[in-house]
């Protein structure tokens, strides 16, 4: 059964995607929860209208995304952390800390859930990289350094 997703559904697709699912999943979960509608002529026309509006919005936002990504390119963020005598930090640096550093040092609001630290857990002082999602398909690599407070 083909359905049009109204919201992002984990492991299935993003909003406005047309996906094929089993009828029971669509009728018992996706449609009652408001995650999808059945694909037919009227919903397909409505989807096309939303896609045109979204493309206009994205074209406008593309210049803003390019400006923000240019700001990220040359910068190395400094994140302070409390350390012990062996240069190992108490706790770990998470995407929340990276988002706060971006907000404070570059004056850009970024959703912390769209930040992925590439090295895994950050538990020592040093230089690291993170990937920041600025939209559905725009990602920027950000360098940050964990320093002692």
Give residue-wise pLDDT tens across range 19-74. 999 999 999 999 999 999 999 999 999 999 998 998 888 788 888 888 887 877 87
CA distances to 7, 33, 95 from 16, in Å: 7, 16, 28
**23-27, 110-114, 131-135, 141-145, range with greatest mean pLDDT:** 23-27
Q: Which residues contact 21 (CB under 8 A, 6 or more apart)?
A: 1, 3, 12, 30
Angle at CA 101, nearest 5°, toward 98 and 107?
125
Could you tell me which CATH number the domain at 2-65 has? 3.40.5.10
Residue intervals of the chain classified under CATH 3.10.430.100 are: 67-148
Query: Tens of pLDDT along 64-102?
Result: 888 887 877 878 889 988 888 887 888 888 899 999 998
Q: What is the pTM of this model?
A: 0.61
Which pair of structure tokens corresponds to residue 7?
Answer: 């919201």
On the question of pLDDT at 135 being above 90, the answer is: no
Is there a contact between 26 and 38 (Cβ–Cβ < 8 Å)? yes
Query: What is the mean predicted confidence (pLDDT) over 4-27?
Result: 93
Q: Which of 62-76, 117-131, 135-149 has the highest mean pLDDT?
A: 117-131
DSSP string, 28-75: IIIHHHTSEEE--HHHHHHHHHHHHHHHHHHHHHHHHHHHHHHHHHT-
Query: Quick count: other Cβ atoms within 10 Å of Cβ 33?
Result: 11
- Determine whether domain 67-148 maps to CATH 3.10.430.100: yes
pLDDT band at 136 (very low <50, low <70, confident <90, very high): low
Q: Is the pLDDT reported for residue 114 higher than 80?
A: yes
pLDDT reported for residue 29: 95
Q: Which residue intervals of the chain bear CATH 3.40.5.10?
A: 2-65
Query: What separation in angstroms does the CA of 27 have from each of 2, 33, 57, 96, 137?
Result: 11, 10, 32, 38, 30
DSSP code for 27 = I
């Amino acid at each position: 059964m083909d359905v049009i997703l109204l919201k992002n559904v984990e492991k299935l697709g993003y909003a406005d995607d047309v996906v094929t699912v089993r009828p029971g999943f669509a009728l018992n979960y996706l449609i009652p929860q408001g995650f999808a509608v059945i694909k037919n002529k009227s919903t397909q026309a409505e989807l096309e209208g939303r896609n045109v509006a979204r493309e206009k919005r994205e074209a406008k936002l593309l210049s803003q995304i390019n400006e923000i990504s240019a700001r990220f390119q040359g910068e190395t963020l400094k994140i302070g952390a409390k350390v012990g005598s062996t240069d190992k930090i108490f706790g770990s640096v998470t995407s929340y800390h990276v988002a706060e550093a971006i907000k404070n040092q570059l004056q850009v609001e970024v959703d912390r859930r769209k930040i992925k630290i590439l090295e895994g857990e950050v538990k020592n002082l040093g230089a690291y990289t993170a990937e920041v999602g600025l939209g559905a398909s725009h990602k920027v690599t950000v360098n940050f350094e964990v320093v002692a407070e």
